[in-house]
């Protein structure tokens, strides 16, 4: 009897939480369109009604929701609404892509070890409250570091505190400015995130594995 080839895994269903322009979301959409990632983005949620991420999602035909203190005045109600919106979309994994709102316990519990974030440093260095975007790169340069990088980690209660899934190093070059370092790290952040999601799509799980 001939061997039956294994059935391909279904496309990874991704939910995205974003507050800004949505460049990380666009990187995911580009990777999917190029056949580099067997996935689909099933919902994009933002706490900013004018977020570019929502515009990008709508242009791509992806379901969107604006959920914030403007739509739900109480934190518990907002947490419940976000949890319900994500559960309805049924993502396999949720990516926080520049989401500038602290997540509540309901959504954290509902998507425990299925919610990941990408951070522009080699955690645990330069993580925590106030460490985002250019603040991270400015701190790296001020400390005279010779390398920086990107980390993909599970989202837990405190900022940037969850276990690291994968990291990629980026050298700090002589004469680097915050802007130059930020651009190189951003490029590596996006490819690292796609790599991690590709791994998850292929294996059905996340594994801790450094990605140089």
Total-model pTM? 0.90
Q: Which of 119, 135, 137, 153 is catalytic?
A: 119
Q: How far is CA 86 from CA 68, 71, 143, 179, in A?
A: 14, 16, 40, 34
pLDDT number for residue 188:
96
What's the rounded Cα separation, in Å, for the pair 211 and 78?
36
pLDDT value at position 161?
Answer: 83
11-112 is a CATH 3.90.1330.10 domain:
no
DSSP label at 122?
S
Which of 67, 200, 201 has the alpha carbon at shortest distance from 209? 200
Residues paired with 149 in a beta bridge: 169
**Consecutive sets of 10 residues in the chain, 212 residues long: mean pLDDT of each?**
56 96 96 96 98 97 97 96 98 94 94 94 92 94 97 88 93 96 96 95 73 46
- pLDDT of res. 168: 96
Backbone angles phi, psi at 12, to 5 degrees: -65, 130
pLDDT at res. 138: 97
Q: Which residue has the tokens 């001020």?
A: 142
Joined together, the tokens standing for residue 153 give: 């980690």
Q: Is 135 a catalytic residue?
A: no
Domain ranges of the chain: 11-112, 119-151+168-204
């Amino acid at each position: 009897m001939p061997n039956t080839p294994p059935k391909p895994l279904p496309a990874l269903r991704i939910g995205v939480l974003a507050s800004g322009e949505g460049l990380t979301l666009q990187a995911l959409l580009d990777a999917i369109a190029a056949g580099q990632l067997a996935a689909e983005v099933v919902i994009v949620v933002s706490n900013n009604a004018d977020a570019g991420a929502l515009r990008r999602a709508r242009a791509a035909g992806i379901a969107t929701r604006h959920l914030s203190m403007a739509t739900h005045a109480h934190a518990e109600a907002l947490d419940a609404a976000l949890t319900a919106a994500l559960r309805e979309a049924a993502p396999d994994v949720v990516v926080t892509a520049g989401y500038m709102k602290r997540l509540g316990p309901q959504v954290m519990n509902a998507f425990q070890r299925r919610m990941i974030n990408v951070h522009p440093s080699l955690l645990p260095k330069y993580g925590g409250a106030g460490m985002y975007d250019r603040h991270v790169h400015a701190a790296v340069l001020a400390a005279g570091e010779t390398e920086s990088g990107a980390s993909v980690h599970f989202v837990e209660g405190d900022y940037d505190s969850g276990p690291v899934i994968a990291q990629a190093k980026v050298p700090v070059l002589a004469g680097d400015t915050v802007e130059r370092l930020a651009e190189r790290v951003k490029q590596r952040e996006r490819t690292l995130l796609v790599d991690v999601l590709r791994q998850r799509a292929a294996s059905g799980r996340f594994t801790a594995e450094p990605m140089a």
